[in-house]
Amino acid sequence: MSSTNDQDEADARIDRASGRTEANLGDWSKAPSTLSWPTGWIDVWKVRLDEPQSAGSEVNVLSLDEEARGSRFHFEKDRDYFIRCRSALRCLLANYLALTASETRFEYGTGGKPRLASDQNPRALEFNVSHSGNIALIAVGAERRVGVDVEKIRLDVDTDALAERFFSVHERAGLRALPDHVRVAGFFACWTRKEAFLKATGDGLSFPLADFSVSTHPDLPPQVEEIREDIEASKKWSLGDLSVGDDYRATVASDTSLSVVNTYAWN
């Protein structure tokens, strides 16, 4: 669910119900002065939405439709977070493409999923964005499908009811088998792994959440375990958990190996 519409729907599912592939990735290093084209690896950027943009970032880079969308937010904080997230995305992509941020153009597919304008993207740069709380993550790769999801852990939701509604039979059994003290963490680990996979596929809500299963233990390596009960189909997908803070769970997904994932702090 790589569009913001899909991200909003993912957040709404929680709201409605409440009223490295082998280890966590999370050494958020300072960005290099020059970005290399991400062929053979994925770059994941962490953006603190409650902090100013990084030094040297362009200002007023949003398109007219983005400005209009930002103006529709009721709360000033939400409006500021949207503007900072979209500005960081534009600046990042512009650095990879050797453009200015204001020149970067998006096209929108089914469900509002954004992608770079084809005439600006002959080398197939792919990106995905997720935000929750005061954190946004932006995953960037070339010639591969990528998805990323971050969720702020909330204790005011009925995780059992959500799992019954949105998780597969296999995942629900996995959660029930977890010790009580890790079950909430297991729920959010499962949630972000599912969302990241869905966003990488590009199918969004057209891919039923119960039609595939991911691992549920929060402290074990994440993986797609089956797709429509087909274990072999799941082997082409890779998941990696990301450490972004004690109150968050996050996952990156791709249809190729995640043996190399670079994690950078945008600000």
Could you tell me the CA-to-CA distances from 158 to 10, 155, 161, 238 in Å, in that order? 15, 8, 5, 29
pLDDT tier, 32 (very low <50, low <70, confident <90, very high otherwise): confident
Encoded tokens for 32: 């290099």
- Is the pLDDT reported for residue 46 higher than 60? yes
Q: Is residue 93 within 8 Å of 140, Cβ to Cβ?
A: yes
- Is the pLDDT reported for residue 21 higher than 50? no
End-to-end CA distance of the chain: give it in Å, rounded: 25
Average pLDDT taken over every residue of the chain:
87
- Is the pLDDT reported for residue 3 higher than 60? no
Q: Is residue 250 within 8 Å of 190, Cβ to Cβ?
A: no
Tens digit of each residue's pLDDT (9 = 90 or more) over 66-105: 888 888 998 999 999 999 999 999 999 999 999 999 899 9
Tens digit of each residue's pLDDT (9 = 90 or more) over 198-256: 999 987 667 888 899 999 999 999 999 999 988 888 889 999 999 999 999 999 999 99
Name which of 15, 1, 17, 57 is nearest 164 in CA terms: 17
The pLDDT of residue 96 is 96
Beta bridge partners of 47: 136
Domains of the chain: 22-148 (3.90.470.20)
